[in-house]
Structure 1
Amino acid sequence: VLLSDSETLASPPPMAPQQTGSSRKRKAQGDGQGAGSSVLPGPVMAAAPGEGPRLPKRQRRPVARRSLVHYLNGRAQGHAGLPGFESELRGYAILRLPELLQERQLALGPLNKVFASQWLNARQVVCGTKCNTLFVVDIHSGRITRIPLMRDRVPGLARPQPTCGIHAVELNPSKTLLATGGENPNSLAVYQLPTFDPVCLGDRQGHRDWIFAIAWMSDTVAVSGSRDGTVALWRMDPDMFNGISWYKDMGLPRYAHIRPKDMEAIPRATTNPGNRKVRALAFSGKNQELGAVSLDGYFHLWKARSSLSRLLSFRLPYCRENVCLTYCDDLSLYAVGSQSHVSFLDPRQRQQNIRPLCSREGGTGVRSLSFYQHIITVGTGHGSLLFYDIRAQKFLEEKSSASLDSFPGPTGRKLKLTCGRGWLNQNELWVNYFGGMEEFPNALYTHCYNWPEMKLFVGGGPLPSGLHGNYAGLWS
């Protein structure tokens, strides 16, 4: 048995009733009448000879416009729409978007397994792969641009290890810096955006094993987690940026070599003291705390300031293959993905009120997670995307096809998006160990949303560690 690598919009608003010719005429004459108007007290108007006394004109009361068109026009003009309407519209879009997404696969050539991804802008996604390739893909044209990796100060340590690759790609809050792995997967590489000029490489007194996770605490402070059982805090000094343009003009790839400001070891568990590998990190900006998951089945929490101070550690309810972690600031909730479950953690609550969810995807595991408001997206090792509503504590369901005079209703079936075949290298290992299986689902190691554009990028590859292949798809 081969081990794994870790491895809408709302419906159109109801149309306003058409105005009759007489109502249009009154409006043109400025009679001031509107739906729901009331007569205000005032003086009686003078009447023409032979007529009775005129009634006072009705004062116009602002009419509440609840149309999506009026809201969007108002937002374009720079003023707010209806109070609460934007959040209601966004919440409805979040619930409806998954069932409307359609896949378009992106060709990546012979690259091996997309492990990490982030949107750079509306049309570019930066990715890291198992074959230690950092690249940018244009989702419109499909063009791939490779980014040169930074090398350690000591060349002998810079040779990439064949079974590792780039497991983390993270942008700082202002999207001016990108942190990832170097040519040596033990080192932290930081690039300046949007030019990808190299800024610095954390290769001095840093990690002794592969970097699996990265989280930004601010625009200039990042934390990395490694297989060596440590988390390291790195600070990017503004002086590092001064010489970038000069060296770029001279054609010299010059960058600083830095060391961590602080480094903390994962406490040894009594059950499996040799498996303290840090697999995932998530930062809480609201609480200024850093959560970490280690492969020995523990969750750890640090207070993150100028240094790291560990607050607590406890054993997770499901301990096998805890490989992904995400955090929701709105709910103050961590979510941990394991072999067959997603567990929800609030470190401030002794009793967890949200029960774990089971992916039930053949034991292939949860490989990627993301929060957006109350919806959590789950990427599995079986090539599918699932969507879970935290508020309702249930998966989103498929909708039945609606007739012309009815709305679609739930079918009771879990909504599941199944990704395409991608590309698989049909080598000897594939023939000898898997009998030349034509259909082989891809593990979805990474996914990231571009909510303003209503798009979802998904990347991955075959789950068994020995197989070589990739998958990348744009869902929109």
Structure 2
Amino acid sequence: MANRRARRRHRHQRRAATARPPPTTAQEQTGSRKRSAPSQGLADGEGPLLPKRERRPATRRSVVHYLKCREVGRWGPAGLPGFESELRGYTVQRLPELLTERQLNLGTVNKVFASQWLNSRQVVCGTKCNTLFVVDVQSDHITRIPLMRDKDAGLAQARRNCGIHAIELNPSKTLLATSGKNPNSLAIYRLPTLDPLCLGDRHGHKDWIFAIAWLSDTVAVSGSRDGTVALWRMDPDMFDGTIAWHSEVGLPIYAHIRPRDVQTIPRVSTNPSNRKVRALAFSGKNQELGAVSLDGYFHLWKVRSTLSRLLSIRLPYFRDNVCLTYCDEMSVYAVGSHSHVSFLDLRQGQQNIPPLCSREGGMGVRSLSFYHHLITVGTGQGSLLFYDIRAQKFLEGRAPTGLDSALEPAGRKLKLDCGRGWLNQDDFWFNYFGGMEELPSALYTHCYNWPEMKLFVGGGPLPAGLHGNYAGFWS
């Protein structure tokens, strides 16, 4: 019996010795047999050993506590489960009323029509006077970007005063699309250097480019006043410097490309001159392109190697339809008109979301943008409005109910009024407006830098004959 017990004890010790990992250097020095933490980040168990991470309590944290812990890196990138999206929703609701304006000095350029953030400090802008420039929102420093010229010099002089109406960055922010010296041509610049890459001036549009949308990193669509949409594909060989380069005399050399497909807006109106494409918006989820024409129609195109039209819808408000945006989260198009914003959810029907009326003296909707469920409306009267599409109401301003109380909804529409900007007080201004100085600036463009919680707004006087500009940095 004693021999059997001894053999059983011997087998148990042998199995334990086989299963135990060999001692590390630290264990050999100290003689400790405590289990070490598994190695992380290096192959073959090399590198420092990390202590076992403590389990966090499942208690709910406040926003202040979360932000302080994130500053010191306590929680790491994961944060609390679901807290990032909750904090983002809170920020979307509260950010607009926390923004304050600082006007930027743009000199004497005329009416900022388009804008996009390049980085945390720089915004690229296009104006009615056909100027492309980058402004530093911290220092007000302006850098002008030379425009690309057509091969045919005669075309470059055609309708030279229409301006730059569209600026768009591709998804990876490596290319920028806008119009050239000739506003009918599509110009592509390389980022971040803004070197000229290629110009779409052959067999393309015969009138001004009003809108641009990127379908991928190398495919873009442009919409024109001539009633056409054109699909352009950039050759990857352009990106390695084999085509776009600088000659010995210092003049930029860039490729001249032609569209892969051109489609015409259908003749659904009695006035063909109003079939001008005014705005574009792309749905990456459905691979569909929405377009708004000035005859009061919304058109939907299926995007493949070419463009195939799916439908055309008469809009409920068809006066001055000049802006369009798309919400990926809710699969909804929003169209801005003279006094309304119309919503098109094509999965549920044409008009299942009630339109919002933004009428304030016939101001007009001049720019739109979506961020999650919040839509920002830039008006012709120099104000920004914010609409929650889920709650179907405008954001309300907040006011304190007492000296020591928290802010409560004040029951009034939240509206950010922009500064007047600069106005050229010429003979036209004096003769037609009697020297009136209280002329608001129409907000033709606005763009968010949400990671930095910043907003750029650009525009100028609404009457066509007036010359002036407005640019504001809101943070």
User: Shorter-chain TM-score category?
Assistant: 0.7 to 0.9
Match in the other structure for 2:308: 309
CA contact (8 A) 1:111 1:129 kept: yes
5+ residue gaps, structure 2: 1-53
Residues 153-209 of structure 1: CA deviation (Å, up to 9, x unaligned):
001111252541000000000000000000000000000001111110000000000
Residues 447 and 455 in structure 2, CA contact (< 8 A), matched pair in contact too:
yes
1:440 aligned onto 2:435: no
Give the Cα separation in 2 of the matches to 1:415 and 1:368: 17
Q: Distance in 2 between matches of 1:375 and 1:165?
A: 30
Distance 1:424 1:60, change over 3 A: closer
| Matched AA of 2:333 | Y
After the TM superposition, which of the residue ranges 407-416 and 363-372 deviates more from structure 2? 407-416
Cα 1:428/1:240, change in 2 over 3 Å: same
Could you tell me whether the CA contact under 8 Å between 2:385 and 2:414 is conserved in 1? Answer: yes
Q: Give the partner amino acid of 1:229.
A: G
- Corresponding residue number in structure 1 for 2:101: 103
Letter in 2 for 1:390: I
Give the C-alpha shift of residue 144 in structure 1.
0.3
> Counterpart of 2:299 in structure 1: which amino acid?
H
Alpha-carbon distance in 1 for matches of 2:345, 2:319: 20
**Corresponding residue for 2:388?**
389
CA contact (8 A) 2:244 2:255 kept: no
Partner of 2:459: 460
Aligned equivalents of 2:173, 2:211: Cα separation in 1: 18
State which drifts further: 105-114 or 243-252.
243-252
User: 1:219 is matched by which residue type in structure 2?
Assistant: D
| Partner deviation per Cα, 1:421-443 (whole Å, 9 max, x = no partner) | 10000011001111010110000
1:5-84 maps to which residues of 2 (within 5 A)? 62=57, 64=59, 66=61, 67-69=65-67, 72-73=70-71, 78-84=76-82
Pairing 1:180–2:178 present: yes
Query: Structure 1 pair 139/351, CA: closer, same or farther in 2 (3 Å)?
Result: closer
For residues 8-407 of structure 1, the aligned pairs below 5 Å read: 62=57, 64=59, 66=61, 67-69=65-67, 72-73=70-71, 78-159=76-157, 161-241=159-239, 242-243=241-242, 246-247=245-246, 251-350=250-349, 352-407=351-406
| 3-state SS, counterpart of residue 431 of structure 2 | helix
Alignment deviations for residues 260-298 of structure 1 (CA, whole Å, 9 cap, x no partner) = 000000001234332100000000011110000000000
Structure 1 residues 310 and 77: CA distance shift in structure 2, 3 A: same
Q: Which moved more, 1:396-405 or 1:245-254?
A: 245-254
Secondary structure at the counterpart of residue 325 of structure 1? strand
CA drift at 1:102:
0.5
Task: Sort the Cα spacing of 1:258 and 1:355 in 2 relative to 1 into closer, same or farther, 3 A.
Answer: same
Structure 1 CA distance for aligned equivalents of residues 246 and 133 of structure 2: 22
What are structure 1's unaligned runs of at least 5 residues?
A: 1-58
Whole-angstrom distance in 1 between the partners of 2:133 and 2:273: 34
Confirm or deny: 8 A CA contact 1:74 1:81 kept in the other structure: no
- C-alpha contact (below 8 Å) 1:160/1:183 kept by paired residues: no
CA contact (8 A) 1:281 1:292 kept: yes
Q: CA deviation at 1:63?
A: 5.1
1:381–1:444 CA contact under 8 A, matched in 2? yes
The structural deviation recorded for 1:400 is 1.2
* Pairwise CA distance, 1:78: 4.2
TM-score by length of 1: 0.85
2 CA distance for matches of 1:303 and 1:287? 8
3-state SS, counterpart of residue 290 of structure 1: strand
Q: 1:61 to 1:469 in 2, by over 3 A?
A: closer
The letter for the 2-side match of 1:64 is T
Amino acid of the structure 1 residue aligned with 2:380: G
* Percent of pairs with identical residues: 77
CA distance in 1 between counterparts of 2:387 and 2:456 reads 18
Supply the distance in 2 between the matched residues of 1:61 and 1:426 (Cα, whole angstroms): 64
- Tell me the residue number matched to 1:471: 470
The alignment of Structure 1 onto Structure 2 pairs a total of residues equal to: 418
Q: CA deviation at 1:406?
A: 2.0
Q: What do the CA deviations read for 1:441-475 (whole angstroms, capped 9, x no partner)?
A: 00000000001111100000000000000000001
Give the partner amino acid of 2:115.
S
Contact 1:71 1:82 in 2 (8 A): no
- Matched with 1:46 is none
Larger radius of gyration: 2
Give secondary structure in 2 for the equivalent of 1:151. Answer: coil
Deviations 1:366-415 (A, max 9, x none): 00000001100000000000000111100011111243532211121111
Q: Secondary structure at the match of 1:274?
A: helix
In structure 2, relative to structure 1, the CA distance for the partners of 1:97 and 1:158 (3 Å cut) is: same
